């Protein structure tokens, strides 16, 4: 499961990068895309760091960071969609938003499970 999630996060960051060619070129849209690129890449990279965590506490903390970054990506994608900055196929953007939403759900569940397990000890 960890490898599958890592692959999904990496693919998500790559698809965000592919959005560039379909984005409107305004100062605001460029800033949003730049921030989205950073948060999506950060989620993937920090998940890789989490897999190499030195302890359960370290893993839990790093998963929390990944969750924050992927939530930021989700909200950013929603702003881009509402603002109509994406000029490609809307279905492609909707697919990306859905994938991001699924990643948020998976990471949120993971984070809650880790926190609950640490409370039980």
- Please name every residue paired with 86 in a beta bridge, in sequence order, or none if there are none: 23
Task: Say what the pLDDT of residue 118 is.
Answer: 73
pLDDT at 1: 76
Domain ranges of the chain: 2-120
Dihedral of CA atoms 65, 78, 102, 70 in degrees, nearest 10, equals -10
Does residue 121 surpass a pLDDT of 80? no
Dihedral angle computed from the Cα positions of residues 50, 54, 58 and 60, in that order, rounded to the nearest 10 degrees: 60
pLDDT band at 107 (very low <50, low <70, confident <90, very high): very high
Whether pLDDT at 61 is above 70: yes
- In the CATH scheme, what is the code of domain 2-120? 1.20.1440.60
Q: What's the pLDDT score for residue 65?
A: 98
pLDDT tens by residue, 72-100? 999 999 999 999 999 999 999 999 999 99
């Amino acid at each position: 499961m960890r490898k599958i999630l890592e692959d999904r996060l990496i693919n998500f960051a790559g698809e965000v990068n592919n959005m560039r060619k379909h984005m409107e070129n305004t100062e605001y849209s460029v800033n949003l895309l730049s921030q989205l690129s950073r948060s999506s890449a950060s989620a993937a990279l920090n998940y890789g760091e989490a897999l190499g965590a030195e302890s359960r506490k370290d893993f839990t903390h790093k998963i929390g960071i990944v969750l924050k970054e992927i939530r930021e990506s989700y909200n950013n994608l929603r702003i881009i969609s509402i603002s109509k900055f994406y000029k490609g196929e809307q279905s492609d953007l909707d697919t990306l938003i859905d994938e991001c939403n699924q990643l948020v759900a998976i990471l949120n569940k993971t984070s809650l499970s880790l926190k609950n397990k640490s409370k039980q000890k």
